[in-house]
Amino acid sequence: MKKPDPEEFVDQQDIEEFTSILTDFYRGEIQRAYTWRTRLDRTTNWAILILSGLITWTFSVSTRPDELLLFSILFLSILLIIEARRYRFYNVWASRIRVLEENFIAKALNPEEEVSSREWMKTLADDLKDPHFKIQIWVAISHRLRRVYIWLYTVVIILWLGKVAMHPYPSSEFEVWLNRAGIGSIPGIIIILSVLGFYFFTIVLALIGPKVEERKSKIKTDKSTRKEWEKKM
């Protein structure tokens, strides 16, 4: 039995009504993507703003504790998780937009060009019936680390080490640094090793995560949450 061509569905519909439906749907997905992109940027802005305030306040007086900078690492980590979650939502709408742009709008602009996927309508319909995230949470975290947060962590750790070395008075002795880095009964060497270990972990996570192709809003690797989606695309 011959497998039906998904595009034959279009030939059986009123072309004006079909075009109107997809156009309205495209506008709706654009609005959704814009909303979540705004939320994504707002999280980044809050991270940079609050981090800048903490750094300024900590270095304005030499006697202020360096633990405040370590607290900002915890704060950044919470915002990173929130931003990764928001990025997963944004990626859902962006993926649908790319399907329409590659297979409907591009085809309308150049009817002689073949569509990217003959089953794009079925893929999109299945995703509308049963929507799923296209990427895993750790992939989203890795992506946001590469784009924003690994640089913020780098700034915090460099400034924290500088604070330990300079305040309340400049010193080049490692023993002095260890004493200043200590928190309560926790030795300074434990604090320094923990901070550097966390930083090394974030670097590894940022590097091993598959890269998200922004233009097509899909993963450049076979490993993904939506394997079926990738196969159909």
What confidence tens digit (pLDDT) does each residue in 42-87 have? 999 999 998 998 888 888 877 777 788 888 999 999 999 999 999 9
- Both structure tokens of 138: 């750790």
**How many helical (H) and strand (E) elements, i.e. helices and strands, does the chain have?**
10, 2
Residue of 193, 196, 191 lying closest to 179 (CA atoms): 191
Measured distance CA(45)–CA(54) in Å, rounded? 14
pLDDT of residue 22: 85
Closest residue by Cα to residue 6 from 126, 96, 98:
126
Per-residue model confidence (pLDDT) at position 14: 57
Q: Can you tell me the distance from the alpha carbon of 166 to that of 163, in angstroms, rounded to the nearest whole number?
A: 5
Q: Are 22 and 104 in contact (CB under 8 A)?
A: yes
Q: How many other CB atoms sit within 10 Å of the CB of residue 179? A: 13
pLDDT tens by residue, the chain, 233 residues: 455 555 555 555 557 777 888 888 889 888 988 999 999 899 999 999 989 988 888 888 777 777 888 889 999 999 999 999 999 999 998 888 888 888 788 777 777 766 656 677 888 888 888 888 888 899 999 999 999 999 999 999 999 888 888 877 777 777 777 787 888 788 888 988 999 999 999 999 998 877 665 444 444 444 455 555 555 55
